[in-house]
């Protein structure tokens, strides 16, 4: 799971967006190979590949861009320490 804070989407502007992606498969490849059920479950808009897909998410744009940035190490990992988390005892 990846959370981004900035967006080039002019409709939404900057906001927290949560991306649920396969860690070892690009979104485009996942759709082609039928592995997108990890993210999409049994949604009727998933289809069987791209030919009969009715989902409004264009996996070749936003999701694929976020995946490529993730693979290249562009996103920092969130840790308890980075949140200044202190467990109550």
Q: What is the rounded distance in angstroms from the CA atom of residue 54 to the CA atom of residue 15?
A: 26
Confidence label for 72 from pLDDT (cuts 50, 70 and 90): very high
Q: What is the rounded distance in angstroms from the CA atom of residue 14 to the CA atom of residue 7?
A: 5
Is residue 89 one of the residues assigned to a domain?
Answer: no
Is residue 88 one of the residues assigned to a domain?
Answer: no
Is residue 52 one of the residues assigned to a domain?
Answer: yes
Each residue's pLDDT tens digit, 18-64: 999 998 999 999 999 989 998 999 999 998 888 899 999 999 999 99
Is residue 48 one of the residues assigned to a domain?
Answer: yes
Q: What pLDDT is recorded for position 87?
A: 54
Q: What pLDDT is recorded for position 71?
A: 95
Give the pLDDT mean for 71-87. 79
Q: What pLDDT is recorded for position 88?
A: 55
Determine the structural domain holding residue 61 and report its residue range.
Answer: 2-83
Is residue 7 one of the residues assigned to a domain?
Answer: yes
């Amino acid at each position: 799971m990846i959370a981004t804070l900035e967006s080039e989407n002019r409709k939404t502007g900057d906001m927290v967006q949560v991306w649920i992606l396969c860690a070892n498969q690009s979104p485009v490849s996942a759709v082609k190979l039928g592995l997108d059920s990890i993210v999409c479950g049994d949604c009727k808009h998933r289809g069987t590949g791209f030919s009969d897909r009715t989902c409004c998410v264009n996996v070749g744009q936003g999701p694929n861009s976020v995946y490529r940035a993730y693979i290249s190490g562009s996103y920092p990992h969130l840790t308890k320490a980075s949140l200044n988390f202190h467990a109550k005892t």
